[in-house]
Amino acid sequence: MSDFNKDEYLNDLPDMDDLSGQTAPSGTGPAADDAAAGAPEAAAADTAAASAQAEASAAAENATDADAETLTPLGQAKKEAAEYLEALQRERAEFINFRNRAKKEQDRFRQHGIIDVLTALLPALDDIDRIREHSEMDDSFKAVATKIDKAFEKFGVEKFGEKGEDFDPTRHDAILHKPDPTAEKETVDTVVEAGYRIGDRVIRAARVVVASPQD
């Protein structure tokens, strides 16, 4: 029996670095065993879900087909006619709404145009009023002034501001308050410049002298 040589035995063993670089074969070990055990269950769950979805889709298609099959040709025609009528009514309602919006926009732009023209002509209109009040107009000038007034009336422009009417701060711009022992309430005593409005919109308040009751 040969003697055991310790040095020769140790030299024949593999190095620790070589052992540390080796990995376990894939598909082995506890984790691999658990994954292999869970794979059939996950596959079964996916298969069940896909089967349920397919059954639901098939049921919906069958229900639609069944409804269509139960309708007679006349019933099917009435159903299609009702669908066409509903679509037509929706289109008509949308068109009416569009037409109303377009009309409102058109009226708004028209009013802005009238206001711009009126504002530009206000100094000339004030001069005409002063000539009417302080001098005699000849017939030709009076005819022109009347045409201008009627033209603005045609476009909905209303002139306001008269002596003796009640003072209204929303319509009148008081440039002076004059105590008057005979006045029972604030009234317009003198119109310096007439006011103009379109509907409820005041373009320019009337500038007036106000007669106020004495305290």
* pTM beyond cutoff 0.75: no
CATH number, domain 157-214: 2.30.22.10
Strand blocks (E) in 132-204: 157-160, 172-180, 187-193, 195-198, 201-204
In the chain, which residue ranges form alpha helices assigned H by DSSP?
6-12, 16-21, 30-70, 73-134, 139-154
Q: Where are the domains of the chain?
A: 74-155, 157-214
User: What confidence category does residue 180 fall into, taking pLDDT thresholds of 50, 70 and 90?
Assistant: confident
User: What confidence category does residue 183 fall into, taking pLDDT thresholds of 50, 70 and 90?
Assistant: confident
User: Which pLDDT tens digit goes with each residue over 115-172?
Assistant: 999 999 999 999 999 888 887 778 888 899 889 989 999 999 999 999 989 999 999 9
Could you say which DSSP state residue 75 is in? Answer: H
pLDDT of 195 > 90? The answer is: yes
